[in-house]
């Protein structure tokens, strides 16, 4: 009797935890760019989720107008995100970096609004989704558990990309220059590092990674012009939890946020994002350095 009742609960719990873990890996990739940008130049990018939306729309355009599989959109999205990040840096961020904090905030906020309403102008506010592709809508079963292949693929690719960027930052010469800039920009400049280029690079990498995660999310998440704000906040929550500027922190925090979202969504589905905001608020308030911050 007892066993009979507990079994489905356990099965559900295991399934939810695995699902939360998978989502968490995607969130970690989303948060990576934000954390990197903050680490290198101490600026919070409010337009982060909008970069993700750009990635989603690229996947959508390629799949519904050019009839390409959304998987092909990943490199396109990466390139677009890289260029978008670079352009944002050279045309906007570079000019507001020396200004007061309020101006920085409003600058990236303006960028966010601009991208969001540009998307609304071009694509109208309609909710869209991708409904064709090798992996779209397919499921895979392990015993009692069933998973969307697209979600598993998104999680695996996110993990892979995260690892690549992590290695790039920690093992290559370019990565060392980036880290030097984030530790002390002035000293880095004396050592002959072109910090302006490093800042632009951080924006480029940030834009590319988040646009790829957008293209991955588009496989199973609806696309609207206003979707960005939600992911901006998820990324903020993740980065705050992991510690601003800490990349390995962002990874662990991404998984925690994924679990919070999935588990709370199971019980009060209307409030699943509220719990993320609350978790974010509580971390920011009680441990501003984040769980793994320095």
Partner 1 sequence: MNKVLQVLRDIFSFADRPRTEWIGFIIFVVIILIFPWLVKSSYARSVMIKFLLFALFGLGWNLIGGYGGQVDLGQAKNVGFGAYATALMIVWWKIPFWLTVIPGMIFATAESFAVAYPMFRLRGHYFAIATLCVALVWKELFVFWDWTGGARGVEIPIMPTPDFAYMQFGSAIYYHYFIFFLFITQLLFMNWFRKSKLGYDLQAVRDNEEAAASLGINVTNTKVRAYCITAALGAIGGSFMAVYYLYIDPDFVMPLDLSILIAMTVMVGGAGSIWGPILGAAVLIPLDMYLGAWLGAQKRLGIDFMIYAMIMMIIAAREPKGIWGIFERIRRKRMR
Residues in 41-60 that interact with partner 1 by CB under 8 A: 43-44
In the chain, DSSP assigns E strands to 139-142, 145-148
* 199 interacts with partner 1 by CB under 8 A: no
* 125 interacts with partner 1 by CB under 8 A: yes
* 86 interacts with partner 1 by CB under 8 A: no
Q: Which is nearer to partner 1, 217 or 235 (CB)?
A: 235
Burial 224-250 (b: 16+ CB within 10 A, else e): bbebbebbbbbbbbbbbbbbbbbbebb
Three-class secondary structure of residue 250 per DSSP: helix
Residues in 151-190 that interact with partner 1 by CB under 8 A: none
Q: Which is nearer to partner 1, 117 or 144 (CB)?
A: 117
The correct pick among 1, 9, 66, 285 for binding partner 1 (CB under 8 A) is: 285
Residue 114, classified by CB atoms within 10 Å of its CB into exposed (0-12), middle (13-18) or buried (19+), is middle
The correct pick among 2, 142, 286, 294 for binding partner 1 (CB under 8 A) is: 286
Neighbours of 177 (CB within 10 A): 19
In 51-171, DSSP assigns E strands to 139-142, 145-148
The correct pick among 116, 211, 216, 217 for binding partner 1 (CB under 8 A) is: 116
Q: If you ran DSSP here, which 8-state letter would residue 202 be given?
A: H
* 34 interacts with partner 1 by CB under 8 A: no
* 292 interacts with partner 1 by CB under 8 A: no
Q: Which is nearer to partner 1, 94 or 189 (CB)?
A: 94
Single out the segment in contact with partner 1 by CB under 8 A; choices: 14-22, 142-150, 159-167, 270-278: 270-278
Neighbours of 115 (CB within 10 A): 20
Q: Which is nearer to partner 1, 116 or 219 (CB)?
A: 116
Least distance from C-beta 232 to partner 1, angstroms? 10
* 117 interacts with partner 1 by CB under 8 A: yes
Three-class secondary structure of residue 245 per DSSP: coil
* 96 interacts with partner 1 by CB under 8 A: yes
Strand partners, 147: 140
Q: Which is nearer to partner 1, 124 or 146 (CB)?
A: 124
Neighbours of 206 (CB within 10 A): 28
* 100 interacts with partner 1 by CB under 8 A: yes
Binding mask 228-247 for partner 1 (x = CB under 8 A): -x---x--x---x-------
- CA nearest to 157, candidates 128, 133, 135: 135
> How far from 153 is each of 48, 62, 115, 128, 274, CA to CA, in Å?
23, 19, 28, 21, 27
* 280 interacts with partner 1 by CB under 8 A: yes
Least distance from C-beta 134 to partner 1, angstroms? 33
CB 53 within 8 A of CB 115: yes
Residues that bind partner 1 (CB under 8 A): 43-44, 92, 95-96, 99-107, 109-114, 116-121, 124-125, 225, 229, 233, 236, 240, 270-271, 273-274, 277-278, 280-281, 284-286, 288
């Amino acid at each position: 009797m007892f066993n009979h009742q507990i079994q489905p609960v356990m099965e559900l719990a295991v399934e939810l935890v695995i699902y939360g873990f998978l989502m968490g890996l995607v969130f970690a990739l989303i948060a990576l760019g934000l954390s990197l940008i903050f680490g290198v130049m101490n600026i919070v990018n409010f337009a982060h989720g909008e970069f993700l939306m750009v990635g989603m729309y690229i996947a959508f355009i390629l799949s519904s107008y050019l009839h390409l599989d959304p998987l092909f959109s990943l490199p396109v999205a990466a390139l677009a995100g890289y260029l978008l990040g670079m352009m944002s840096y050279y045309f906007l961020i570079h000019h507001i970096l020396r200004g007061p904090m309020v101006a920085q905030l409003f600058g990236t906020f303006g960028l966010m609004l601009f991208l969001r309403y540009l998307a609304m102008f071009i694509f109208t506010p309609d909710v869209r989704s991708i409904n064709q592709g090798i992996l779209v809508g397919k499921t895979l079963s392990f015993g009692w558990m069933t998973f969307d292949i697209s979600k598993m693929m998104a999680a695996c690719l996110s993990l892979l990309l995260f690892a690549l960027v992590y290695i790039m930052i920690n093992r290559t010469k370019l990565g060392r220059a980036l880290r030097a800039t984030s530790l002390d920009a002035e000293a880095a400049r004396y050592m002959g590092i072109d910090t302006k280029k490093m800042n632009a690079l951080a924006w480029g990498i940030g834009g590319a990674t988040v646009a790829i995660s957008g293209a991955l999310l588009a496989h199973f998440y609806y696309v609207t012009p206003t979707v960005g704000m939600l992911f901006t906040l998820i990324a903020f929550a993740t980065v705050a939890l992991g510690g601003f500027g800490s990349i390995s922190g962002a990874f662990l925090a991404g998984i925690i946020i994924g679990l919070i979202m999935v588990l709370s969504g199971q019980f009060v589905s209307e409030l699943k994002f509220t719990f993320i905001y609350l978790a974010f608020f509580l971390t920011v308030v009680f441990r501003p350095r984040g769980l793994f911050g320095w």
